[in-house]
């Protein structure tokens, strides 16, 4: 009796016997091997390329003959002649198995291939998108078998791709018959199926074979800013990124003020919904233009945001989030037409997925951070701080599980409520160093790599100018002022007499520090005011108090590592953050940045429907701490007002930085005078 050939696929290791003459693509499907294809075995798309082995494979106990696969046929010859085929590669839909063989499936031919992220601590992205292209040949109409074109399309998909059921919106259906006839009954369709299964939805249709790209938007809708990435759905590659200020700021700078606006104004929630949906539509148009692509090719979007933003975007009045028990209308993930949330400028049939919320004040953005950074898999006790107007914090590891809370930091960290604050844009001060002896600052601005004491700085910044100070800049400025002895532990700004520098100028009953004088170039005199210091103190105190509550819940006084996330998390200096007391003390080398981890989580969810199912299950296991109801929050908040802290020790920081022992409280009701002491050692 003849034994069927043994086929072994690597790197999966899957193996099995198939009849002689079985196409490699068919064998892969039968054995559950991850081998891609769009054209359904017609030798058009080349996504099923494989590398057959020849010779001895002791590991598998197999010797592969040179003729283990059928000879190269005319389809492969034509493809190689027209588009080029890598030496040693075969098309899996054309090569048939003749005898025992070992076949390698290269990463680019795998359906669920991983895209390796460059940062060592980050997770790889597995490609398993909800929308895929499928090429099919549809039977022509027959008077003796009167079925509609859509029904025969469904039959073809069932045979070629094992798609059991399809659904289609009317605007797409109207294009079906012209596409079939123009393509000579051959078409390519974009099929969407979410992670919960159900019918496949036809999002778009092209005559003949379409092997172009499809795109998706990963959107991080923050209280102050909106950030979006345009990604290729074949490899998660970012083609363009853009952002804008959230237009809801005109209704209130923080979340509770927007809830109040809804409470106090009839139709207020609807106004805010219209504003943010309009912004998303404009953002989608801009990002498609930046990438120079047809907006119709954007077929999916994922959205992450805090609960108040979530409800307003969905058209749900956020009033219930304004008081205990902070009830969400829904905490589950939501999948719906993208047009429902304002994305009307992309493919009309595009779908949008909003990640699940964790609790009343811990939203889908925190869920996205958990998806991106996976603290539940970590060995060290890890604190993740997503810095923003409403900061989300996650604390945990494999042993303790994960706890979460949110903290109302306000918009100061993003440049708002700061005298010369602005969003991160060319010309904004982003780095600050103050000489501890001369008390003179040097600065660096976005868009220029030179420091302001470089002779070429003025020329290099002539176009952008020096326009203000952004979030990372004000954090460094306040921390540098503390290290230079210009403010005391209470945050009080010293006078010129008390600090020994004429860069301290009177401003009412307080003083301000001249950070940069651009008046000579027609720019502003940029100062750091006492009000700026207070705004940063309030923001950082709320952040630290939230972290302290999570640490109390676990029963620890220290953490092993800190990850700074958020739109500008990558730009926050760990040393300056710790000098301020934004974060608990830990070794500075263990404070790292994840950049916009919420945006990365949105991108992972865009690329991988299994990740959507995973985070939906994971959020149910995250323990939530409600800071608004926690008895010790106010106590922790007050203690954290000091810079870096009134009571907590910072041994790791002390090993790196010596903070001047100064006090500018005269005790006479005025601010900014007093004596100056410097602690030795």
Q: Residues near 158 by Cβ (< 8 Å), separated by ≥ 6? A: 164
Domain 125-207 sits in CATH 3.10.20.880:
yes
For the segment(s) 6-109, the CATH number from 3.30.930.10, 3.40.50.720, 3.10.20.30, 1.10.260.40 is 3.10.20.30
Task: Determine contact, residues 231/237, Cβ cutoff 8 Å.
Answer: yes
Task: Determine contact, residues 342/280, Cβ cutoff 8 Å.
Answer: yes
Give me the phi and psi of 159, to 5 degrees please. Answer: -70, -50
| Interior angle at CA 539, CA 440 and CA 248, nearest 5 | 110
76-115: per-residue pLDDT in tens? 888 888 888 888 899 999 999 999 999 988 877 887 665 5
User: pTM to 2 decimals?
Assistant: 0.79
Classify residue 634 by its DSSP letter.
H
Task: Determine contact, residues 214/299, Cβ cutoff 8 Å.
Answer: yes
Do 6-109 and 125-207 have matching folds?
A: yes
How big is the chain, counted in residues? 681
Whole-angstrom distance, CA of residue 243 vs CA of residue 228: 6
Q: Domains of the chain: which residue ranges? A: 6-109, 125-207, 420-528
593-651: per-residue pLDDT in tens? 887 888 899 999 999 999 999 999 999 999 988 887 788 999 999 999 999 999 998 99
What tokens does 556 get? 């620890």
Q: Is 101 helix (H, G, I), strand (E, B) or coil?
A: strand
**pLDDT of residue 568 exceeding 70:** no
Classify residue 636 by its DSSP letter.
H
Whole-angstrom distance, CA of residue 345 vs CA of residue 339: 8
**pLDDT of residue 178 exceeding 60:** yes
Q: Residues near 14 by Cβ (< 8 Å), separated by ≥ 6? A: 8, 31, 32, 33
Task: Determine contact, residues 474/538, Cβ cutoff 8 Å.
Answer: no
pLDDT of 677: 45
pLDDT of 668: 46
Q: How many CB atoms lie within 10 A of CB 463?
A: 10
462-481: per-residue pLDDT in tens? 888 898 998 889 999 999 99
| Interior angle at CA 639, CA 637 and CA 643, nearest 5 | 105
Which range among 188-202, 248-262, 510-524 has the greatest average pLDDT? 188-202
Q: Is 94 helix (H, G, I), strand (E, B) or coil?
A: coil
pLDDT of 681: 34
361-393: per-residue pLDDT in tens? 788 988 999 999 999 999 999 999 988 777 889
**pLDDT of residue 348 exceeding 80:** yes
């Amino acid at each position: 009796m003849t034994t069927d050939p043994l086929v072994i696929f690597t790197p999966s290791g899957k193996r099995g016997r198939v009849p002689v003459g079985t196409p490699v693509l068919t064998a892969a499907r039968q054995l559950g091997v991850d081998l891609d294809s769009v054209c359904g075995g017609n030798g058009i798309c080349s996504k099923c390329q494989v590398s057959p082995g020849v010779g001895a494979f002791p590991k598998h106990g197999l010797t592969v003959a040179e003729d283990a696969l059928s000879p190269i046929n005319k389809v492969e010859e034509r493809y190689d002649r027209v588009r080029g085929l890598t030496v040693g590669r075969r098309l899996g839909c054309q090569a048939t198995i003749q005898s025992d063989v070992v076949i390698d499936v290269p990463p680019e031919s795998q359906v669920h291939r991983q895209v390796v992220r460059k940062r060592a601590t980050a997770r790889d992205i597995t490609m398993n998108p909800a929308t895929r292209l499928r090429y099919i040949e549809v039977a022509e109409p027959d008077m003796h078998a009167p079925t509609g074109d859509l029904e025969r399309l469904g039959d073809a998909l069932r045979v070629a791709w094992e798609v059991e059921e399809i659904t289609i919106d009317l605007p797409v259906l109207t294009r079906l018959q012209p596409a079939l006839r123009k393509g000579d009954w051959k078409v390519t369709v974009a099929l969407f199926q979410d992670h919960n299964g159900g019918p496949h939805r036809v999002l778009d249709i092209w005559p003949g074979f379409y092997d172009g790209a499809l795109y998706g938007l990963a959107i991080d809708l923050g209280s102050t800013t909106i950030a979006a990435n345009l990604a290729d759905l074949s490899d998660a590659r970012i083609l363009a990124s853009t952002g804008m200020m959230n237009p809801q700021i005109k209704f209130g700078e923080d979340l509770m003020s927007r809830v109040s606006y809804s409470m106090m104004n009839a139709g207020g929630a609807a106004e805010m919904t219209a504003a943010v949906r309009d912004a998303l539509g404009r953002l989608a148009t801009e990002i498609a233009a930046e990438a120079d692509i047809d907006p119709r090719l954007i077929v999916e979007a994922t959205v992450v945001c805090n609960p108040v933003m979530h409800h307003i975007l969905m058209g749900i009045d956020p009033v219930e989030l304004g008081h205990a028990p902070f009830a969400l209308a829904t905490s589950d993930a939501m999948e719906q037409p993208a047009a429902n949330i304002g994305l009307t400028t992309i493919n009309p049939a595009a779908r949008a997925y909003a990640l699940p919320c964790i609790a009343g004040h811990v939203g889908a953005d925190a869920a996205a951070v958990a998806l991106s950074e996976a603290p539940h898999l970590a060995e060290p006790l890890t604190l993740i701080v997503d810095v923003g107007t409403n900061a989300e914090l996650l604390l945990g590891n494999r042993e303790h599980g994960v706890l979460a809370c949110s903290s109302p930091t306000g918009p100061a960290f993003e440049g708002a409520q700061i005298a010369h604050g602005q969003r991160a844009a060319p010309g904004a001060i982003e780095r600050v160093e103050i000489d501890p002896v001369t008390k003179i600052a040097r600065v660096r601005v976005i868009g220029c790599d030179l420091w302001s004491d470089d002779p070429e700085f003025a020329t290099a910044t002539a176009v952008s100018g020096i326009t203000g100070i952004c979030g990372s800049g004000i954090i460094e400025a306040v921390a540098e002022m503390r290290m230079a002895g210009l403010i005391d532990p209470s945050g009080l700004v010293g006078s010129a007499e008390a600090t020994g520098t004429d860069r301290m100028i009177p401003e009412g009953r307080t003083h301000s520090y001249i950070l940069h004088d651009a008046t000579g170039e027609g720019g502003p005199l940029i100062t750091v005011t006492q009000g700026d210091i207070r705004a940063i103190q309030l923001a950082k105190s709320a952040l630290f108090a939230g972290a302290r509550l999570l640490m109390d819940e676990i029963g620890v006084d220290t953490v092993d590592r800190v990850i700074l996330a958020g739109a500008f998390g990558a730009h926050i200096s760990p040393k300056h953050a710790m000098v301020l007391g934004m974060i608990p003390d830990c070794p500075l080398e263990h404070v790292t940045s994840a950049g916009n981890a919420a945006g990365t989580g949105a991108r992972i969810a865009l690329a991988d429907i299994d990740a959507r199912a995973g985070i939906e299950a994971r959020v149910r296991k995250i323990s939530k701490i409600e800071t608004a109801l926690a008895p010790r929050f106010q106590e922790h908040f007050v203690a954290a007002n000091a810079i870096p802290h009134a009571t907590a020790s910072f041994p790791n920081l002390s090993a790196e930085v010596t903070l001047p022992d100064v006090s500018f409280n005269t005790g006479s009701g005025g601010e900014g005078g007093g004596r100056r002491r410097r602690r030795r050692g």
